[in-house]
Amino acid sequence: MATDYDAPRRDDVDLGEDSLEELKARRTDAQSGAVDVDEAEVAESFELPGADLADEELTVKVLPMQDDEFRCSRCFLVHHRSQLAEDNNGQLICRECAA
């Protein structure tokens, strides 16, 4: 259950004074009617100011694989040699994939 940490805190004495009807009303008020909201659909309707990046080009400096690095044959990520777990006939496998 979500907790509102900004709400004022109540003492144990105040909690004991709530009637059953008050508790039921508070519970139904807190429940939301929009349970199955598709986040992707909602996100499509937002447009950020200046977000037209159609003409932008990314410039990233790509370094070649170093001598002390290897490419895992399962996840295809480049790791340092210290992360090498197995070498099966040239098939290099990192520690995360071997686990």
Q: What is the pLDDT of residues 10-26, one digit of tens each?
A: 665 555 566 777 777 77
Q: Where would I find the beta strands (DSSP E) of 1-99?
A: 69-71, 78-80, 84-88, 91-94
Q: What's this model's pTM, rounded to 2 decimal places?
A: 0.41
- Angle CA(53)–CA(60)–CA(51) in degrees, nearest 5? 15
pLDDT band per the 50, 70, 90 thresholds, residue 81: very high
pLDDT digits (tens, 9 = 90+) for 42-78: 777 777 777 777 777 888 998 999 999 999 999 999 9
